[in-house]
Chain A
């Protein structure tokens, strides 16, 4: 069961990390466009 927990946590981390990266990119773009 802890294996599953591990994979779940990693996946979650990947997603949150990815989201953060794209969000920052989004912000930067908005600043460039204005």
Chain B
């Protein structure tokens, strides 16, 4: 599969270029302390990919409920796991950013709160999967939960920050508000988002393949 090999190599070069650009091509943005604006090139795409992954999990869960194809269940659980992974990465990079900007790794500002709730929700998803033995029941119940979980995401991403703001105006600076970015900044940010999306797609396909093989092995053991 030459195409697959080429795209993987492209991904390697692309994200390597993004990293180099983030540190040397772009100037540190105004309104940020020190060089901390560079973290944004990694933090924002990670958060975006987490949401994308959760969306994929929701969509594949809906598909599972409609056609009961076990592959959809695999897709849903793999994507939820990846979403959790990227959410953890986003939280970590966000905490580092918070330390530089506001002196503390964690001050429960609206976005930190939202991402924590997201982590809890999808950790609960994994807990649910672990609690049910029967594969079909596990698949349906987790599909239902994945859909419910994603319903809260728009509220967490868009509504909570606005509401929290009115409660604790002194602790938050809306980083999205610093929109006077120069064009280099936006270029690299977009490139980073693209690169991370590619990374997600790759990890997603690998995760699905691993899980498929695992299930096939389990089936073979049962058949014997």
Contact = CB atoms under 8 A, between A and B. Distances in A.
Interface of A: 4-5, 7-8, 11-12, 15-16, 19, 22-23, 25-26, 29, 32-33
Interface in B153-210: 202-203, 206, 209-210
A30 to B, nearest CB: 9
B20 interface: yes
Contacts of A7: 23
Contacts of A19: 11-12, 15
Contact of B20 (A8, A25, A26, A33): A8
Interface of B: 8, 11-12, 15-16, 19-20, 22-24, 35, 202-203, 206, 209-210, 213
Contacts of B23: 4-5, 7-8, 11
Contact of A29 (B8, B11, B20, B210): B210
Contacts of A23: 8
Given A8-B19, A8-B23, A33 B213 contact: yes
Nearest to A5: B23
Nearest to B11: A19
A12 B213 contact: no
B contacts with A: majority SS: helix
Contacts of A16: 12, 16
Contact of B206 (A12, A15, A29): A29
A29 B15 contact: no
27 contacts: A4-B35, A5-B23, A7-B23, A8-B19, A8-B20, A8-B22, A8-B23, A11-B19, A11-B23, A12-B19, A12-B20, A15-B15, A15-B16, A16-B12, A16-B16, A19-B11, A19-B12, A22-B203, A22-B206, A23-B8, A26-B8, A26-B202, A26-B206, A29-B206, A29-B213, A32-B213, A33-B209
Given A4-B35, A8-B24, A19-B12, A25 B206 contact: yes
Contacts of B19: 8, 11-12, 15
